[in-house]
Amino acid sequence: MEAIIKMGSKIKLMIRITNSRFYNKKGFTLIEMLIVISIIGILASIVLVGLGAFRSRGRDTRRIADLREAQGALELYYTKFQQYPSSGLNSWGTMSQAIINGGVGVNTVSNDPLSPAKTYVYGASSDQQQYVLMATLEEASHPGLKDDVDGTVFGVNCGDAPQGNYCVRL
C-alpha cells in the first residue's frame, strides 16, 4: 500500500506502508504448539509407565541378592556356632541381631529396598540346623519364582500366589 501525502505545493512525501512483519510469519501458531506439547506429554507418559516395570524388576533382583547375602552371613554364623540363629517373633530382626552381635564380621543385614521398615522373613528349624529366608517380590511373575521353595517351611509362607513370595532354604 502506498500513500502520497502532500505537504504544501513543494514537498511530496511518499510513504510506503508495508505490513511485512505481520504477514511474514516465521513462528508457530498456538494450535501447532499445543499439538507438539500434547505429543511430547503422551510420549513421556508412555516412557514413565514403561520404566516402572524396570524399576520393580530391579528391586526384586535386589531382594533376591539380599537373601543370598544373608545366606552368606548365616553360613559364617553357622561356622562359628554350629547352629543357625533361632527364629522369634521378629524373625528377620532376631536373625540380623544374632549375626551382627555374633562377631562373624558382618555389621549390617539388608532390608527391603522399597521400604526399610518392611523386612524379609527368616525361619529356622527347631534344632536350628536348617533355615528358610523369604522376600515378597513385586512381580508375581518374576522368573526367579520358578526355582524357589514353595509351601510352608518352618512356619514361613513360601507360596507364590497371590503374592510372589520368593524363598531359599538350607
**Beta carbons of 87 and 153 less than 8 angstroms apart:** no
Whether residue 102 has pLDDT greater than 80: yes
Task: Quote the cell numbers at residue 159.
Answer: 507360596
- Can you say how many angstroms the Cα of residue 14 is from the centroid of all Cα atoms in its chain? 72
Chain segment 3-43, per-residue pLDDT in tens: 555 555 444 444 444 445 555 567 788 899 999 999 999 99
Q: What is the pLDDT of residue 11?
A: 47
**Confidence class for position 53, pLDDT limits 50, 70, 90:** confident
Distance (Å, whole) CA 88 – CA 138: 26
Residue ranges per domain, the chain? 29-169
Task: Quote the cell numbers at residue 58.
Answer: 530391579
Helix ranges (H only) for the chain are 20-23, 30-81, 91-101
Chain segment 130-159, per-residue pLDDT in tens: 999 988 888 877 777 777 888 888 888 887
Q: What is the pLDDT of residue 13?
A: 44
